[in-house]
Structure 1
Amino acid sequence: MVSQSLPKIILGTHMIGDATKDPGTVRFDTKSEVEALLTAFHSRGYTHLDTARDYSPSDQGASEWRLGRSIAGTRFTLHSKVHSSTAGAHAASALHESITASLQSLGVSTVETMFLHFPDRTTPFADSARAMGEALAQGKMDKYGLSNYSAEQVERFLGACEEAGCEKPGVYEGHYNAVARGCERELFPLLRKNGMAFYAYSPAAGGLFSEHAETSRRWKDDNFIGKPYNVMYGKPPVHAAVATILELAEEHGIKGHAAAIRWTAFHSLLDAECGDGLIFSVSSVEQLHKTLDALEAGPLPVELAEAIAEVYSMVDGAEPPYHV
């Protein structure tokens, strides 16, 4: 599939937080740093931000609070995620507490989407669905979504909503790029059947296609992104596939990172007409502009897009998962 229209472009903000507590992850800390990033993104005509209660990892709410400090809610459409890293986080009382804290930190009364960040395997899905439905009814969000759930878990969650008579989630946020395409087989058909949009994060594999990947601290084991990403992307078949894509892109005079993110934006299963989105993060304002330039360049040359799609066969059985 080749799309001529960009999906919803969303700036991820896990790199906004306390740089002293999360030096391997945070790149924007001070008010001036955060506002420079937001102003640059907004100046290009984009207005969606993705954050989470658990950003940054060592300082819960640090990203949301900094967005609130910059009054981001007056210029941007906000999407956030509830605290999900502890057992029982999706119990009704915990969900309401997390949602309230997020709204207070962001300085808003409502967000467009509130996601269940990770599955809580200790709380019945029906209980979580009821709580999210209550928050919806209270006007604290326009819709809610699931993130990092397997297709089987999404199906069970939807079933629990039907049985309990609860509002169903309207969007899914998951891991998706040229070498992480497991979601295409079971998840995408399920989402389309149920009218759920897909927001893709790590559309360029967390910077793995960048020429700076080997030296970037992002890929070190001392931060919450680097450690799991090294596990997910550390298998030889994945590295071989990435190397092949870099070579193919170079033959067309296109940087690897640009080729990877353009493939996800225009040649994957993402569909703007279904409300799908693409979430990316950056380490500098310069990188923000380069990434947006790449996206605005449009679809890849047909032969390059087809070649990248074929490279996926190299990672069969070793691909990074789309869920946790």
Structure 2
Amino acid sequence: MVSDLPFPLTASLDGRAAEEPARLVLGSMNFGKRTTEKDAKAILARAVELGVVHVDTANAYVDGTSERIVGAFARSQPGLRDRLVVATKVGFGRIAGKPEGLSKKRVLEACDESLGRLGLDVIDVYYLHAPDRATPIEETLDALAELLDKKKIRAWGVSNYAAWQVLEMIELADKRSMPRPAIAQQLYNVLIRQLDVEWFSFAKRYGLHTTVYNPLAGGLLSGKHTRGADVPKGSRFDKNRLYLGRYFTDAMFDRVEQLTGIAREADIRLLELAYAWLASAPGVDSILLGPATVEQLEQGVAACAKPLAPEVRARIDALHRTWLGTDTYYAR
């Protein structure tokens, strides 16, 4: 049962209590690439010591190397596997140069491949990594239902989906009496807040746990990057067109400079402001940390535990309203 896991996968219909900080998830996207296997295992061990027991990976991360590292760690100590929630994903990789997709055949194959790399009997949370518009969602749900019936996965979730797409899946799941998606992983941080528009209201209404990724905007909110400077070698932005296009823009640096001013006046680091704001953001049930080192992990955990002064949050929210401009949203 999903409720038996050491990390809750569903949000209450009333949402997370305002005074309760969001839970933390350990992301492993760079395990085996920017982060060596040795360093990755040190991060995993320290995360467990700090109480971070939900570990997130994907078949697309470093061609499956991340899954192998996570699985090896989960099996490294007696009883450790039972303390962890291991999540992986399908649908974002490429096969023979083409998108992997979410056909029934591919989802079933990919799950077996992930189980093999992880060296585990069951995946706690199996995500649909991104929408596959070429495959009817009914076909994908057929695959998930089979995986649930065969106890190869314990729960399923979605990543990078719109609210209407998830509602469609919920309705179809209800009709076939299969479990609904338990969790959604979405992009959200103090710079990019589109989830505020309708996602959080939707997730609260349907009891869907929301975990958010890119809390530091790929590192832009770490305080290490400045406008006009060269991209640091080995950083998340190094040779990464997706992240460069998303964050390394003049508009984003304008926002970072404004937030830096607020952080300076509050006598906290920009990184601390970004994490603390997110940890108490309404609707955020958990935050996916993506540390490259043990030190970065410890900084993130500590920053998420610190309360943010109400007046600082108010200034940030007022700033966000200016970023939105004067356009009126279509729904009221």
Please give the range of the TM-score, normalised by the shorter of the 2 chains.
Answer: 0.7 to 0.9
Which residue does 2:287 correspond to in 1? 278
Which of 155, 179, 200 is the equivalent residue of 1:143? 155
Which residue does 2:52 correspond to in 1? 46
TM (norm. structure 1) is 0.84
Is 1:171 equivalent to 2:183 in the alignment?
A: yes
TM (norm. structure 2) is 0.82
Mean Cα displacement is larger for which, 84-93 or 118-127?
A: 84-93
Give yes or no for contact 1:49–1:79 (8 Å, CA) kept in 2: yes
Which of 61, 64, 69 is the equivalent residue of 2:64? 61
Q: Which runs of 4+ in 1 moved over 6 A?
A: none
Which residue does 1:316 correspond to in 2? 324
Give yes or no for contact 2:91–2:132 (8 Å, CA) kept in 1: no
CA RMSD of aligned residues (A): 2.2
Displacement, 1:164?
A: 5.0
Give yes or no for contact 2:70–2:118 (8 Å, CA) kept in 1: yes
Mind listing any 5+ residue stretches in structure 2 that lack a counterpart? 1-15, 326-332
**Structure 1: distance between partners of 2:93 and 2:261:** 39
Is 1:11 equivalent to 2:41 in the alignment?
A: no
**Structure 2: distance between partners of 1:178 and 1:50:** 22
State the AA in 2 paired with 1:256.
Answer: L
Which residue does 1:245 correspond to in 2? 259
Q: 1:123 to 1:109 in 2, by over 3 A?
A: same
**Structure 2: distance between partners of 1:315 and 1:110:** 44
**Structure 1: distance between partners of 2:73 and 2:173:** 37
Give yes or no for contact 1:90–1:123 (8 Å, CA) kept in 2: yes
Give yes or no for contact 1:267–1:305 (8 Å, CA) kept in 2: no
Displacement, 1:108?
A: 1.2
Q: 1:316 to 1:303 in 2, by over 3 A?
A: same
Give yes or no for contact 1:111–1:142 (8 Å, CA) kept in 2: yes
Displacement, 1:236?
A: 3.3
Is 1:199 equivalent to 2:197 in the alignment?
A: no
State the AA in 2 paired with 1:85.
Answer: G
Is 1:180 equivalent to 2:180 in the alignment?
A: no
Aligned residues: 297
Trace 1:1-324 onto structure 2 (pairs within 5 A).
3-17=18-32, 19=33, 26-27=34-35, 29-30=36-37, 32-56=38-62, 60-71=63-74, 74=81, 75-86=83-94, 87=99, 89-162=101-174, 164-214=176-226, 215-217=231-233, 218-220=235-237, 222-223=239-240, 227-270=241-284, 276-297=285-306, 299-316=307-324
Mind listing any 5+ residue stretches in structure 1 that lack a counterpart? 20-25, 271-275, 318-324
Mean Cα displacement is larger for which, 281-290 or 230-239?
A: 230-239
Which residue does 1:23 correspond to in 2? none
Displacement, 1:54?
A: 0.4
Give yes or no for contact 1:49–1:76 (8 Å, CA) kept in 2: yes
Displacement, 1:69?
A: 2.3
State the AA in 2 paired with 1:288.
Answer: L
**Structure 1: distance between partners of 2:56 and 2:204:** 22
**Structure 2: distance between partners of 1:315 and 1:233:** 15
Identical pairs, percent:
26
State the AA in 2 paired with 1:220.
Answer: F
Q: 1:166 to 1:71 in 2, by over 3 A?
A: closer
Displacement, 1:98?
A: 0.8
Displacement, 1:158?
A: 2.9
Give yes or no for contact 1:10–1:47 (8 Å, CA) kept in 2: yes
**Structure 1: distance between partners of 2:238 and 2:216:** 19
